[in-house]
Amino acid sequence: MAPVSSNAAKDDYPWWLVALAVIALALAGVIVANDLYTQVFGVVLKGLWVTIFVTLVSFLLATALGLGLALMALSDSKVLRQVARFYTEVIRGVPILVLLFYIAFVGAPALVALVNLVISPLVSAGFIEPMQVRDVSLMWRAIIALMIGYSAFIGEVFRAGIQSVDKGQVEAAKALGLSRFQRFRLVVFPQAVRVILPPLGNDFVAMVKDSSLVSVLGVADITQMGKVYASGSFRFFETYSIVAYVYLILTIGLSLGLRGLERRLRRT
């Protein structure tokens, strides 16, 4: 197959984006003009901030945990490498929805039982009350589940990005007397970011969509608000059309922003 010429690439105008923009504007007009769609949109939008909060907090925690897993997988310790590999393979093999139920209804009670065991002397002395399972909100159970589920994938992204850096540069930094942390912070990580960012951005967009799974726990996100409204009004077509519209605006907007950031990094 002949390679695509640079002129052809320049002429490849994003008509798909124009089509999406036209459709989005047309749907926005329908929402404004139709009282029913306006009402549905207002109800669904109440869950927007919950979706944003769950996604951001889960992703930040998953990124931190994923980076730790990547460093463990690349460490000199055989035990740490095996632990990281065990965690990654197990978590990647469990569906997010199953993990969500497991953390919510098995992990949270087990955690509460462990905390009560640790603080039992203080409870017996009457200083504090024992912790209850209901003290751990369903939202935070969902956040923990998403964090654990995505950390395994993000850890592999970090590992691949770090390993993509030329070993010669690492050796040169070592010869200059830089410590292990300095080599990572000043030499390895700045170069690895260019490789890490695109798949990390894809994981973030995927988490926006997977955050809809928290609705199975009754967390009042976009999907849950739509589900409640549809079940009460029986306006399933209108409601889930609006839910899909809001998610498309979020995910396509994020994808375009990440592509722009990726192009800027390639120019630098």
- For residue range 24-55, list pLDDT tens digits in order: 899 899 899 999 999 999 999 999 999 999 99
Tokens 């919510």 belong to which residue?
A: 104
**Above 80 in pLDDT, residue 257?**
yes
Phi, psi angles (nearest 5°) of residue 94 = -105, 125
Cβ atoms 41, 242 nearer than 8 A = yes
Over residues 140-151, mean pLDDT: 95
* Ramachandran category for residue 136: left, alpha or beta (phi over 0 → left; psi -120 to 50 → alpha): beta
pLDDT in tens, 208-249: 999 999 999 989 999 999 999 999 989 999 999 999 999 999
Range list of H helices, the chain: 6-11, 15-33, 35-45, 48-73, 78-92, 96-102, 108-118, 120-124, 138-163, 167-175, 180-183, 189-210, 222-233, 236-267
Measured distance between the N- and C-terminal CA atoms of the chain, rounded to whole angstroms:
31
Q: Which pTM was predicted?
A: 0.87
Name the nearest CA neighbour of 241 among 75, 81, 27: 27
The tens digit of pLDDT for each residue in 69-85 reads 999 998 889 999 999 99
